[in-house]
Structure 1
Amino acid sequence: MQVTETLNEGLKRGYSITVTAAELDAKVDEKLKEAQPEIEMKGFRKGKVPMPLLKKQFGERLMGEAMQETIDGAMNAHFEESGDRPALQPKVEMKDGENWKPGSDVEVEMSYEALPEIPEVDLKGIKLEKMVVKADDAAVEEALGNLAETAQDFKARGEGDAAQDGDQVVMDFVGRIDGEAFDGGAGEDFPLTLGSGQFIPGFEEQLVGVKAGEEKDVTVSFPEEYGAENLAGKEAVFSCTIKEVKEPVAAEINDELATKFGAEDLAGLKTQITERLEAEYAGAARAVTKRALLDALDELVSFDLPPSLVEAEAGQIAHQLWHEENPEVEGHDHDKIEPTEEHNTLAERRVRLGLLLAELGQKAEVEVTDAEMTQAIMNQARQYPGQERQFFEFIQQNAQMQQQLRAPIFEDKVVDYVFELAEVSEKEVSKDDLQKAVEALDDE
């Protein structure tokens, strides 16, 4: 077997691999000898079929396997000897493939882009600043107020006051189609919050302005796709008797409210809120520090990038941004989106940092555990209620999706590793300062 270099420009590599007919023939013989003890053929005892007969019967079938294994072996040997790591799957083409005949040498052209050598980085020399925000009393009280609103109650409006959007009306009602009452169309002392969308479209809006003691006919049409076929598309008149009109009021901030949210008392609820807020602040601060780290690494390293990786990344960026600008287009059957120079620049940064972080992670032996992958899959599965099992099975059978879930976990673990080595100082700032820093990330 002979391997000859045909291209060596930057990261681009090309090789011609020649496998002689004698080598292929020897490989076929080797396979036949391995299988011979188990082969039975009419007129011969098991394991005693002559090699020439076996070769005539199975040789052509085994030739393809021998050819593939020999070429794969040559490629693996080349990568071990050269130390090259292909950026993408190497392109392999057989010369004169259609015209090749048994007994002839096989010549294969292999081409790929090699991953670059990643320079060493002095991680301990990186200096970063970590923003720290404490949850002050005002933030805790604001969060308490928001919780109280979610736990709102209703109290009776003044006598003669009209119902407003967001109010609750307590009523008796009977629905009729063509003058006949229908099953499920009646209720007594039913509390309906106007604007909640609990009833079919057009119903609640007609009750805005009603008063306690008033009777009101509401005329609506059931949607064409309504679940009950006997009601779908039909016009109905609901005779409503309004018993009470109530306005929403926030729950009182006290121990009783705290117990509704799983705390023992109000002090305990405030502690929970403080911890949650500071966890949110810490997450936002980490995003800011991570961007600063990536900026620092981007300035520290410079190396050649595989053009195919940059091209693919630029195309993906352009495609994603185009869909964000054209949200009405849901499919991908549109014209090809050509990347701009800005897309290419961003792609180069992402590829450079991606290769660097991968190298740092490999040297530090960073791994994504099965437990971390399971948690990531569970988080994604929550987006498909009732279909969690199908989602799990889909991920298990889809290596590309597994990699998409694994990649951000791996990156964050490498970033944490670098944080431990870098010089990170803390700076206490206000919530507003942190918010501005986070907003600046989106602007870049």
Structure 2
Amino acid sequence: MKVTQEKLPASQIGLEIEITAEMSKNAYEQIIKKYTRSANIPGFRKGKVPRNILIQRMGKNYLTAMALDDLINNCLEKVKEKEEIRPIGQFELSKEFDELVKDFEPGKEMIFSVKVDVEPEAKVENYKGLVVKAEEAKYDPAQVDEFLEERRSQMATLIPVEERPAQLGDVAIVDFVGVIPSETEGEEPKEVPGGKAQDFQMDLKEGQFIPGFIEGIVGMKPDETKEISAQFPPEYSEKDLAGKPAVFTVTLKELKEKELPELDDDLAQEISEFETIAALREFLEKRYTKEKEEKTKQNKEIAIVEELVTHLEVEIPETLIKNEVQQMLAQSAMELSQYGIDVKEFFQSDTLPEMQERSRPDAIKRLRRDLAIATVAKQESITVDEAEIAAESAKVMEQLKGKDVDPGRLRQVVTEDLLKEKTIKWLEENGTVELVPEGTLDTKSETSEEIEVETQVVSEIPTASETILEVEAEQVTTVESSQEK
């Protein structure tokens, strides 16, 4: 057997395999022996079927196809070992199998060609000394005040109002119905889907409902009916309504104002586990400070990885992309099932291809990010030791208490997770991160959009426990994928 190997684009290799006459003859003879022993043909005992009768009853084409199938599979197994090929997908024949069967003659030489995806050869250059900017998130004492005011508002007593018009901060009970004005003369306005309610209680607070609605209610008096013009925002979730004007007929049935409780120890005990308002404030200050520190850390990691991926050169094989899409859909399935949604109903065979195609760009981003980090880790010999793996595994097992977890899978995921973390830390220590005030970086600039295509932000790197849980949903998407076929 002679093998010629060729490197192909998109991390594939091509193989041309020459089969000797003896190999093709032996493969056919082995199939004849196999079916002679196992064939159940009336009038003959098992293992005693004459060769010509066996070929006549089973068909030479069928036996030839079986022999060729075994021959190709056996050759590929030997080639993988001999050529030290580690495929990450299935071998793909360059010709249709039926065509090869027509050309196959036992006892004669033949040539067949295959191609297969292999691990990509990623290259990252000039990754030492990366210079990036990241926004520094700082704790603002106003956060504590806002939190406490929100809780006071939730604990407020509602007092009926009759003598004055509605104002911001009140609670209104209204009936309303909304329509989309017709764009063509003589055409009837269309009712806003879901834009109708009775005895609907709402806080008159800026930012509630669609723009123009709350502003229209302010100034109304109880029992007053009024037409209010509003505008659905361009980014509204219902595409048929996005950016369109609407007119709501609103009746203000009741108006109430909030009587807020005192901001004292009694309130602290009612809304938290703390005995005093001072202790609650101290806790909140520490919590918000830690959140901002974590956000700053995350911003630095995002900036580093985004810059790193711009230094990556790699061709990602199709098999890896498909596997990553599968993982992403598995995660979606898990999340949907937690909300009580029938996953099998959601992942229908007619919608699955579209969902897979939509997930493809994000899958490529994630793969490029992971390959860039893994390449740096390999080149810099960054590793994690057993003690680190054991400690992190114990933490993950605590989070997944009560779930059936594969120890091998757990170890793999935890190791990968820790390696990513250590590599990003190494990049930070060997680079420069300039912290700038929040809101000063234009994340929607042309440059950022290009970078965004290159990589998935670090905040979306799943934790070890989240990655382990993806396995629970993989079977669902696998079943649905098979329905497509």
Q: TM-score, normalised by structure 2?
A: 0.48
SS at match of 1:44: coil
Q: CA deviation at 1:270?
A: 3.4
Q: Is it true that 1:161 corresponds to 2:164 in the alignment? A: yes
2:135/2:439 contact within 8 Å kept: no
Q: Is it true that 1:100 corresponds to 2:119 in the alignment? A: no
The equivalent of 1:356 in structure 2 is 375
Map 1:321-332 → 2, pairs under 5 A:
none
Map 1:142-291 → 2, pairs under 5 A:
142-149=146-153, 151-157=155-161, 160-164=163-167, 167-169=170-172, 192-193=201-202, 209=219, 211=221, 245-248=255-258, 252-259=262-269, 261-265=271-275, 266-267=277-278, 269-270=280-281, 272-274=283-285, 276-291=287-302
SS at match of 2:263: coil
1:19/1:105 contact within 8 Å kept: yes
The whole-number CA distance in structure 2 between the counterparts of 1:71 and 1:105 is: 13
Q: For residues 73 and 19 of structure 1, do their structure 2 counterparts lie closer, same or farther at Cα, with a shift above 3 Å needed?
A: same
Q: For residues 354 and 128 of structure 1, do their structure 2 counterparts lie closer, same or farther at Cα, with a shift above 3 Å needed?
A: closer
1:118/1:359 contact within 8 Å kept: no
Amino acid at match of 1:288: N
Q: For residues 207 and 137 of structure 1, do their structure 2 counterparts lie closer, same or farther at Cα, with a shift above 3 Å needed?
A: closer
Q: For residues 112 and 42 of structure 1, do their structure 2 counterparts lie closer, same or farther at Cα, with a shift above 3 Å needed?
A: closer
Q: CA deviation at 1:17?
A: 1.3
Amino acid at match of 2:375: L
2:172/2:202 contact within 8 Å kept: yes
In terms of mean alpha carbon deviation, does 160-169 or 87-96 score higher? 87-96
Task: Encode CA deviations 1:150-175: one digit per residue, 9 max, x unaligned.
Answer: 55553454x62123466335799xxx
Q: CA deviation at 1:47?
A: 4.3
Amino acid at match of 2:170: D
The equivalent of 2:78 in structure 1 is 77
The whole-number CA distance in structure 2 between the counterparts of 1:21 and 1:57 is: 26
Q: CA deviation at 1:120?
A: 10
The whole-number CA distance in structure 1 between the counterparts of 2:201 and 2:2 is: 83
Task: Encode CA deviations 1:88-134: one digit per residue, 9 max, x unaligned.
Answer: 76543138648525445442223457545567999999999999877
Unpaired stretches in structure 1, ≥5 consecutive residues: 173-186, 221-236, 317-331, 337-345, 377-406
Q: For residues 271 and 48 of structure 1, do their structure 2 counterparts lie closer, same or farther at Cα, with a shift above 3 Å needed?
A: farther
Q: CA RMSD in A?
A: 6.2
SS at match of 2:65: helix
Task: Encode CA deviations 1:297-323: one digit per residue, 9 max, x unaligned.
Answer: 569x77x633767xx99xx9xxxxxxx
Q: TM-score, normalised by structure 1?
A: 0.51
1:194/1:208 contact within 8 Å kept: no
1:133/1:278 contact within 8 Å kept: no
2:10/2:317 contact within 8 Å kept: no
Equivalences, count: 337
Match of 1:140 among 134, 144, 155: 144
The whole-number CA distance in structure 1 between the counterparts of 2:382 and 2:53 is: 52
The whole-number CA distance in structure 2 between the counterparts of 1:126 and 1:217 is: 62
Q: For residues 4 and 165 of structure 1, do their structure 2 counterparts lie closer, same or farther at Cα, with a shift above 3 Å needed?
A: same
In terms of mean alpha carbon deviation, does 360-369 or 47-56 score higher? 360-369
Map 1:325-340 → 2, pairs under 5 A:
none
Q: CA deviation at 1:70?
A: 3.1
Q: For residues 259 and 41 of structure 1, do their structure 2 counterparts lie closer, same or farther at Cα, with a shift above 3 Å needed?
A: farther
SS at match of 1:418: helix
Q: Is it true that 1:30 corresponds to 2:33 in the alignment? A: no
Which structure has the larger Rg over C-alpha atoms? 1
SS at match of 2:43: coil
1:357/1:414 contact within 8 Å kept: no
Give identity over the alignment, percent.
20
SS at match of 2:158: strand
The equivalent of 2:16 in structure 1 is 16
